[in-house]
Amino acid sequence: MKRIMIIGATGVFGSRLATLLNHETNIMLVLAARSKPKLQQLLDRLDARHGFAIIDRDQINGEDLQNIDLVIDAAGPFHKGHDMVIQASISAGCDYIDLADGREFIANIGQYDGAAQKAGVAVISGASSIPALSHAVIDKLRHGWSAIDDIYVGIFPGNRAPRGLSVVQSILSYAGRPVRVFKNGHWQHLTGWAGLHRRNIPFAGKRWASICDTPEQDLLVEAYKPAGSAEFYAGMELSILHLGLYILSLPVRWGWLNTLEPASKALLWMSRQFLPFGSDIGAMDVQIKGYNASGQPRTSRWALRADANHGPNVPIFAAAILARRLAKGIALPKGARPCHGLIRLQEFEADFAQFGIKTIMQENAAPQRSALLERIVLRFPIASRFLSV
């Protein structure tokens, strides 16, 4: 039986991961967080064999991870580059997985490769919707292709989905600030939470989308070498929240403020006042354009729809898949790396089915364009600085 510690076990993602792994016969969970009462409430809902530990991820050390086979960091935020859990895992000789979405955090994960190899442990970062699932999708979509021109990845949670402080902090850290994006064949700096456009997602409807600062932009270019663009967008379901954040980000864009991050708690509270509105439908959208083996142009698309607030489960599936592998005696690859190329798309299907999550794949799908926005840009070219079509 493998002892797996989940840090941030009482949070939005950690509690769902604990529930998902609860009945795995070869896994004993050690649930870790700062609050004992919250941990006890979670334990009361799970199998009695599991345990808990009071741990602050910013003060953790190797002694806290003795007799642990795998630690999964589901706490965050990761954009500040905190690496105490990684250092503690390597020191204790246990494998490490995180659900990180911080761009610099994942980009720099390779710096731990030597230490991880020497300790004989795996350090895997980004075992979440991106890059683990998104890259599994792209690998499926591009099978047999000779080249890729453009990649588009978008994530669109339903408004009623639970939201945590770390997610809000991550978004506000780049809203209005320059974001490095590979577009039109070269790297350029665009504005975070700008690039406003409407995305029509198969069986999920239209959602607002804006530029995000994630590790995906770097990893997509590194892994797939697109000739044209590699873009990642996200959007809030309610226009008042999505466009409201765009407006709030303007003082940052104009240089009046350095960041919106200090307002994280206030904006999180404000967003929660709108929870009764909108839907509980989350979506994910991946589209690629390129050429098949014969050099013919192709466009392929994959989309996901998660009803009944099951969307927040999607980011935990990759970590759960890797944890189950370890529990079956399949060693995780030693060394430090992003979670790219480690999981195939079909490995997600059982968890999709368990939560009633629907997916669709379209070959030669029509490229996503907004006719209205195209007309605006044609008539007023300066609008291209604010809108993406």
* Digit-coded pLDDT (tens) for 263-309: 999 999 999 999 999 999 999 999 999 999 999 999 999 999 999 99
Residue 204: the pLDDT is: 86
- Eight-class DSSP state of 384: G
> Residue 215: how many CB atoms within 10 A of its CB?
27
Amino acid at 221: V
User: At 287, which helix (H) or strand (E)?
Assistant: strand 282-292
Q: Which amino acid is at 277?
A: F
CA angle 187, 301, 310 (to 5 degrees): 100
- C-beta of residue 130 within 8 angstroms of C-beta of residue 155: yes
Q: Averaged over 364-370, what is the pLDDT?
A: 54
pTM above 0.85, yes or no: yes
pLDDT at residue 47, as a whole number: 86
Per the CB < 8 A criterion, the answer to whether 208 and 282 are in contact is no
Higher pLDDT, 324 or 204: 324
Cβ-proximal residues to 296 (8 Å cutoff; 6+ apart), any chain? none
Cα gap 95→93, rounded to integer Å = 7
- What are the CA-CA distances from residue 246 to residues 122, 209, 235, 238 (Å)? 39, 11, 11, 13
Q: Does residue 389 carry a pLDDT above 50? A: no
Within 10 angstroms of residue 32's Cβ, the number of other Cβ atoms is 30
Are the CB atoms for 309 and 128 separated by under 8 Å?
Answer: no
- Per DSSP, 156 falls in state E
**Do residues 297 and 363 make contact, with C-beta atoms less than 8 angstroms apart?**
no
- Between 19 and 370, the higher pLDDT residue: 19
CA dist 14 → 19, 29, 83, 346 (Å):
9, 12, 18, 23
pLDDT in tens, 130-171: 999 999 999 999 999 999 999 999 999 999 988 888 889 889
- What are the strands, taking DSSP E only, across 55-204? 70-73, 95-98, 122-125, 145-156, 178-183, 186-191, 197-201
The β-bridge relationship of strands 51-54 and 27-33 is parallel
